Structure 1
Amino acid sequence: MSINKERAPEGFQEFVSTINQKLNLVDMEFRRSHEEDDGNPVWALVNTNGDEIAKLATEYSPVEISYFKRLIELIVTADDDAFSASSIMALKEASKIKTPLTKSAAETLLQRFVDDKWLIQSQNGKYSMSQRTILELQAYLKDEFEDYLIECILCYDIVTKGQRCDVQECKSRFHHHCARRYFSSQNEKVCPACKIVWKSSNIIGDH
């Protein structure tokens, strides 16, 4: 996988579409997304063949992949749209997999996941999914966690860091940069779905 955060020049999307027609023949494609924090564009070359989580086998052992899957589940199913897991919780998961990892081995592996850009560790020590994980494992995430993951109502990408509607039952979610873009053209900041006042302070994800 390769990622380029530079802004795409005019006509680049058409160029990528042409390239993807060829890449699809070998089960590859360029995918475009945005960094959830700042909205910077991200391009990734992704393998589209087979079980997406199995692609990690080129980098990790079955035991390490099993641990990674448990971490992703922990992050995605976190309470109150937190989309993160504390270091303590992450280390505890290492003892619950079929072949348990020692605390030391788990700490080393967690750092490797961060270094390889599969996970992000915040200043407060919490782990969350990186844009690489969201892009490369998109189908896996949507298949496994359909009831937990929600798309941004502006860009339609998965949102794990951003803003949400005050109404618990409402599914309206924005990335922060998408919220700024959307509300800049609105006279009032109201939820596009249920029309109540939108509070930018009502955030989701680890910040």
Structure 2
Amino acid sequence: MPPLCWRHHTLIQALLSRGPLKESEFQSIFSDVTGKSFDSHQQLFNDYLRKINMELSYVQFELRACRNQYDSGVYYGVINTIADEQSKLGSKYTVPQIAFYKGIIEAIVQDPAAQGTISNINALNIRLENQGTSSQVPTAFKAFSMSQKEKTIQELVHDQWLCDMSDGRIGLGVRSFLDLRSWFHNNEVPACDVCNEAGVKADLCPNESCTVRIHKYCLQAKFSQQRMEKVCPGCGTQWPYVMAKSEAVEEDDTDVSQPPLGPAMRKRQKTSSNGPPESQPPENGQPSRRRVAVKVDYDGAGSSQEPSLVPRTRRATRNSARLHR
């Protein structure tokens, strides 16, 4: 296979230097460097991405797309596909900062209401001691002050690992959605019943005994089909979805819920458990649902080695709502 040309290099460099880019921005760069309109040359665009990923795989990197679960936008970025001690050395964050980030991620994915956010106050009150893997708490964890936590949040938001919501709460940044895809899967974070991606920010089935959750943009894609009955795919409960006239479509094969680029997701299998995790009260008076527990072991890199241009499969079975340590 011929080596990458300067056009491929420009696309890679744009993502490395600017960070994750919106779909429209990345496609605009493609059009500028190739002189081809994206709308008329989508196959060429996919060929470019496929060739780039074949070369990046030799150095354990991947050009990947994801959908931001807060604004439904598609973003492209380059991620590290391995997690080892050597890759950790490349992080600009200190050990306490990484532990603090882990604590925020843990709190967000544990949200029983699937709002995908945590209040700034609750984030600042996260105890780093809970992120330790041994009984001896590192001194750096104990000395990590409130002002250092505030500064860390600002840095994580700036680097797109976290995001500031309009209501002042904190959510996951687009880089987290790009890099944590494999972690979400391996730790059995409840997935969207439509696209099989982690349902960090999602709507819940009205039946509180049902564990189905669906992204808002996936609901729109699913229920905008005129012949589709608006019921929960798990328990059959009527789903309170109001369809705007502009959303109605005729065909059943319309699916805008998944990004055009991403690794194939394996069908999730239910796993056994010795017992339910200890429940915790939900925040802000949200409806009471079973709270799940998860141990975060994130080091700033994904671990997927799957091909990048394979459409993800729909889930054959629904996951349990439990996350196991």
Tell me the TM-score normalized by structure 2: 0.55
73-82 vs 21-30, which moves further: 73-82
CA change 1:95–1:66 in 2 (3 A) is closer
User: In the alignment, which of 126, 129, 137 is matched to residue 169 of structure 2?
Assistant: 126
Distance 1:109 1:27, change over 3 A: same
- Counterpart amino acid of 2:54? Q
Equivalence for 2:235: 194
Q: Larger strand proportion, structure 1 or 2?
A: 1
2:178 corresponds to? 135
Query: How many equivalent pairs are there?
Result: 198
Residues 166-177 of structure 1 mapped to structure 2, 5 A cutoff: 166-177=206-217
Contact kept in structure 2, 1:94 and 1:106, CA below 8 Å: no
Hey, what's the Cα distance between the residues in 2 that align with 1:79 and 1:156? 18
Aligned residue type for 1:74: A
Q: Which amino acid aligns with 1:6?
A: E
On the 8 A contact 1:36/1:175 being kept in 2, the answer is yes
Structure whose CA Rg is larger: 2
Contact 1:94 1:102 in 2 (8 A): no
1:94 positional shift: 4.9
RMSD of the TM alignment (CA)? 2.6
Structure 2: runs of 5 or more not aligned: 1-15, 28-37, 131-137, 243-325
Identity %: 28
2:196 to 133, 150, 156: 156
Structure 1's 95 and 156: CA in aligned 2 closer, same or farther, altered over 3 A?
closer
- When normalised by structure 1's length, the TM-score is 0.82
In structure 1, the gaps of 5 or more residues are: 202-207
Q: Give 1 or 2: higher helix fraction.
A: 1
Q: Quote how far apart the aligned CAs of 1:95 are.
A: 6.1
1:65 to partner: Cα distance: 0.8
Q: Secondary structure at the match of 1:93?
A: coil
Native 8 Å contact 2:114 2:204 kept in 1: no
1:66/1:57 Cα in 2 relative to 1: closer, same or farther (>3 Å)?
A: farther
Decide whether the 8 Å contact of 1:154 with 1:174 is kept in 2.
Answer: yes
User: 1: distance between equivalents of 2:61 and 2:112?
Assistant: 35
In structure 1, the partner of 2:220 is 180
Structure 2 partner of 1:204: none
Looking at structure 1, the residues matched to 201 and 91 of structure 2 have their Cα atoms a distance apart, in angstroms, of 29
